[in-house]
Amino acid sequence: MSNILCIGAGHVGGPTMAVIAKHCPQHRVVAVDINAEKIAAWQSDRLPIYEPGLKDTVLSARGRNLFFSTEIERHIAEADIIFVSVNTPTKTFGRGAGKAADLQYWEKTARQIVENSTSPKIVVEKSTLPVRTSEAMERILNSNDKGLFFDVISNPEFLAEGTAIRDMEDPDRVLIGGRETDSGQVAVQAIVDIYAQWVPRDRIITTNLWSSELSKLAANAFLAQRISSINAIASLCEKTEADVSEVAHAIGTDDRIGPNFLRASIGFGGSCFKKDILNLVYLSEYYGLNEVAAYWEQVVKMNEYQKTNFVAKMVDAMFNTVTGKRIALFGAAFKANTSDARNSPAIDICQALLEERAQIVITDPHALDNAREALGEAAEKVVFEPDPYAAAQGAHAIAILTEWRQFVELDYGAIHEAMIQPAFIFDGRNILDHRALHDLGYNVYAIGKPPRTHFPGA
């Protein structure tokens, strides 16, 4: 039996520990957090995050070998293996502001581990961190006067929000990086043994520490790059009457390219892609690799353009003004099946429309509370409406900003009748049936497709 501890019970730590506890009844798994409200929620029926399948997984192990607690120090002392999944946002101040990772939470955690340990432990990096952070972690942990040695392992998370449980249960691969020393290899094996309880051995990849850290950033940079690439093609489609869905299908059938992550959109959001690319940019600049830095930075720039271009398209289409017009935003989450609205393109689009002095109503099945928080002061000017029909009532336009299945299944005929005419739909996720909407009387604008309007001469 091992005592497994996770510091940081957020979107990564919570689901990861729940799945480990479910499959490893022989181990005691505890997730701790400084946020007492969050811990109380993990202990209750209303979990702090929405993830399909999460509740069942938590219930299968909670109270048996899965525990949530705020007693960080006591649990550090008891732990054999400590996963660290605290937040590492982009720095907003000082050197590297806007690009480098803010490591204050992470460093505090490392120091807390040293202070409260009386036995050697394996410390596993789970947060996304800049390359070579594990080296800094080793230094902090092993500069102790207690004679304790800590092995540091990099085990990047590849789970995506909205599919976190599925990704953990059936991962494409699990990556575990460690030192090539004897004790480093023993530590790697201890983490391999945990995952091997449910993941086929050939999907568990072991590497050195640096490869593991860099692979995480590289994987996210490649994924984000695909989205920016298809979005760049979408802009060309809008000028040439090509249809981006047809182009994506045509290129995706090439085995070498593959069909995934080619959905043109209002841009990628979430807490990883932008942050990880900026980390890569910062790292490249640090090593004087300016062309490499500029190459990756362009992926982020393209993503920003995608959002401003969408808003510009809305304003243009609505006779060059949205001032005072009620606009219903369908979706606040950064993607479907999550309640997370951090870095959501929907929030940026909402802000930009507020600047144009539109009257904004947002509807979302799970992310309204988080949207309110993400909007900050601007939230006062926004109406939050859980019912999409009520949100669209009296609106000039609907903008689809999150690809929730629920939005595809609405009665758009009834909605059309309740809207101001001419009614507009801007499908920022290309999920609706544009021809059918046009037949219902809407003026339809999508991403990377010719508009379908009822205006004479259009």
- Name which of residues 254 to 273 contact ligand ADP (CB under 6 A): 271
| Window 49 to 88, contacts with ligand ADP (CB under 6 A) | 72, 85-87
Q: Give the residue with the Cβ less far from ligand UDX, 141 or 368.
A: 368
**By CB under 6 A, which span of 2-10, 235-243, 410-418, 447-455 interacts with ligand ADP?**
2-10
Q: Which is closer to ligand UDX, CB of 188 or CB of 227?
A: 227
Residue of 160, 196, 242, 378 that binds ligand UDX (CB under 6 A): 160
Region binding ligand UDX by CB under 6 A among candidate stretches 154-162, 313-321, 361-369, 370-378: 154-162
Instruction: Pick from 57, 88, 155, 265 the residue near ligand UDX by CB under 6 A.
Output: 265
Is 237 marked active-site? no
Per-residue binding string, ligand ADP, 99-128, x by CB under 6 A, is ------x--xx-----------------x-
* Closest distance to ligand UDX from the beta carbon of 243 (Å): 16
- Provide the minimum distance between the beta carbon of 76 and ligand ADP in the complex, in angstroms, as a whole number: 10
Residue 160 binding result from ligand UDX, ligand ADP, none, given CB thresholds of 5 to 8 Å by partner type: ligand UDX
Which of ligand UDX, ligand ADP, none does residue 105 bind to, with CB < 5 to 8 Å depending on kind? ligand ADP
Which one of 138, 161, 213, 348 is in contact with ligand UDX (CB under 6 A)? Answer: 161
- Of the candidate residues 106, 150, 330, 334, the single one contacting ligand UDX (CB under 6 A): 334
Partner whose binding site includes residue 269, from ligand ADP, ligand UDX, none (CB under 5 to 8 Å by kind): ligand UDX
Closest CB to ligand ADP belongs to which residue? 10
**Using CA atoms, how far apart are residues 432 and 452, in angstroms rounded to an integer?**
13
Indicate which residue of 6, 24, 272, 350 is catalytic.
272
310 binds ligand UDX (CB under 6 A): no
CA distances from 309 to 6, 36, 305, 348, 419 (A): 41, 41, 6, 12, 25
Q: What is the 3-state secondary structure (H, E, C) of the chain?
A: CCEEEEECCCCCHHHHHHHHHHHCCCCEEEEECCCHHHHHHHCCCCCCCCCCCHHHHHHHHECCCEEEECCHHHHHHHCCEEEECCCCCECCCCCCCCCCECCHHHHHHHHHHHHHCCCCEEEEECCCCCCCHHHHHHHHHHCCCCCCCEEEEECCCCCCCCCHHHHHHCCCCEEEEECCCHHHHHHHHHHHHHHCCCCCHHHEEEEEHHHHHHHHHHHHHHHHHHHHHHHHHHHHHHHHCCCHHHHHHHHHCCCCCCCCCCCCCCCCCCCCHHHHHHHHHHHHHHCCCHHHHHHHHHHHHHHHHHHHHHHHHHHHHCCCCCCCCEEEEECCCCCCCCCCCCCCHHHHHHHHHHHCCCEEEEECCCCHHHHHHHHHHHHHHEEECCCHHHHHCCCCEEEECCCCHHHHCCCHHHHHHCCCCCCEEEECCCCCCHHHHHHHCCEEEECCCCCECCCCCC
Q: Of the two residues 268 and 445, which places its CB atom closer to ligand UDX in the complex?
A: 268
Site for ligand ADP in 27-46 (CB under 6 A): 32-35, 38
Is residue 272 within the footprint of ligand UDX (CB under 6 A)? yes
Beta-ladder partners of 81: 4, 122
Distance CA 298, CA 211 (A): 24
194-233 residues near ligand UDX, rule: CB under 6 A: 220, 223, 227
CA angle 454/423/420 to nearest 5° reads 130
Binding flag, residue 54, ligand UDX (CB under 6 A): no
Residue 12 or residue 214: which is nearer to ligand ADP going by CB?
12
Residues 6-25 binding ligand ADP (CB under 6 A) are 7-13
By CB under 6 A, residue 345 contacts ligand ADP: no
Q: Which residues bind ligand ADP (CB under 6 A)?
A: 7-13, 32-35, 38, 72, 85-87, 105, 108-109, 127, 271
Residues recognised as catalytic? 272
Q: Which residues bind ligand UDX (CB under 6 A)?
A: 157-161, 220, 223, 227, 261-263, 265, 268-270, 272-273, 334-335
